[in-house]
Structure 1
């Protein structure tokens, strides 16, 4: 038996219509996984589902806000009614907002607390709540895997993005806590891990890292200078770790926060 085999597994990907989540969805669907795309914007979710189906994959649309428990519960009922099980939950919903980013002319004390709360809720609560709602369905199967999306911003201080950083740091703590609790109750039946991407170009950070002509901003140049591989990551480069954590090949791995960062977190800057 191939321990990496994912054929006919069922996955829910929150934020699965985004750049990173959507690439994970493409990769899992090609591996034979039934992929449910969960997001709050029906048009984006349905467009992604149609794209997966046109490529030969099995896909389902789950329109729900990751911060709305009733909508998530309805989505879970829909999933169970149609596909009967859930093996993989990828909590890829998250991000930042411009109002929570410390501008060049701002002092950190000027951070709007409303924006800070909004970003923390989206990242931390937007990971916790889907886990609590979909977790009981996963507990009915064997070898289930919850994969949270962390960030380099949780490993060390990344200037200007304090709200995003604290939200992602909360995800790391929640990942370890939930991994321990579920392992003590369910053994290796449900594993919980996180992937911490380095710097990948996505909608939320494009303007911070790239000029309109595609050249690097000063911030983008600083990041590249501190990434030993000397480049940004490609979304497809997250798929290998997602496949491994989704499969039985990682059956003794839980509570890990794994960087995929081109060496950024290992580099001292010297």
Structure 2
């Protein structure tokens, strides 16, 4: 896909990885349609995209709410005319141990609310946005690509039963959609980042950040733009579909 003038929807597009993706794709001439719950962050990212000379728009929506997702994708097509790509980037964490116990007594368990919040945003949100994007691509005759953001935690990570399950599910969706949607000229791909230097990570206590970095063979956290670069690769490579790219500095959980 040549990204010039292509409409690329990015969820969680207001800040962090989403902002890096929006700016990286805007530099290639794409038109970002950014979805987020934070209107102030969205407006700031849109402003940065406009400074690069491309059209960009902000949409406030909850990716875990079906009616909200349907409405926002209707609005995007109404305003841009088509959707050529989707990056399912929105995600949250609610980390907790599955079970905590001491001396044979269970002291704490991951709550159902902690489970549901992460599954709702990180998995159901990907399903809803992917379904609406594919629907619009088919209805408008726009062949396109869906990129889902997974994580190396999909292999299982302590304290992340909910997050790991969701990110493993994202990969399963990616593979399934690649097989089902190929007939319509729609590709899918996934990216599994390791530890990336977003604002949240870089605000960790220095000793905690140093300890985390020491375990990465590359001896550093990744840059948000390095994930954005992987997103662009999947969007631009028309023979890439149904696979996962790990961008983790050789770290394997």
TM-score, normalised to structure 2, is 0.90
Residue in structure 1 matched with residue 163 of structure 2 by the alignment = 164
Residue in structure 1 matched with residue 96 of structure 2 by the alignment = 101
Write 1 or 2 for the structure with the bigger share of strand: 2
Q: Deviations for 1:150-183, whole angstroms, at most 9, x for unmatched residues? A: 00101x3322122111111111111111111112
Contact 2:151/2:193 (8 A) holds in 1? yes
Contact 2:10/2:89 (8 A) holds in 1? yes
Distance 2:50 2:172 in 1: 36
Residue in structure 1 matched with residue 51 of structure 2 by the alignment = 54
Q: How do 1:29-48 and structure 2 match up within 5 A?
A: 29-48=26-45
Give how far 1:22 is off: 0.7
Residue in structure 2 matched with residue 257 of structure 1 by the alignment = 244
Give how far 1:221 is off: 4.4
Contact 1:96/1:204 (8 A) holds in 2? no
Alignment of 1:177 onto 2:176: yes
Q: How do 1:26-175 and structure 2 match up within 5 A?
A: 26-97=23-94, 100-102=95-97, 106-107=100-101, 110-139=109-138, 140-154=140-154, 156-175=155-174
Distance 2:115 2:199 in 1: 19
Residue in structure 2 matched with residue 192 of structure 1 by the alignment = 188
Name the stretch that deviates more: 65-74 or 137-146: 137-146
Alignment of 1:8 onto 2:12: no
Paired positions, count: 247
Alignment of 1:216 onto 2:207: yes
Distance 1:221 1:106 in 2: 27
The RMSD of aligned alpha carbons is 2.2
Name the stretch that deviates more: 221-230 or 174-183: 221-230
Sort the Cα spacing of 1:143 and 1:216 in 2 relative to 1 into closer, same or farther, 3 A: farther
Distance 2:5 2:53 in 1: 13
Secondary structure of residue in 2 paired with 1:264: coil
Distance 1:246 1:143 in 2: 11
Name the stretch that deviates more: 137-146 or 83-92: 137-146
Contact 1:69/1:133 (8 A) holds in 2? no
Structure 2 residues without counterparts, runs of 5 or longer? none
Contact 2:83/2:142 (8 A) holds in 1? no
Give how far 1:76 is off: 1.5
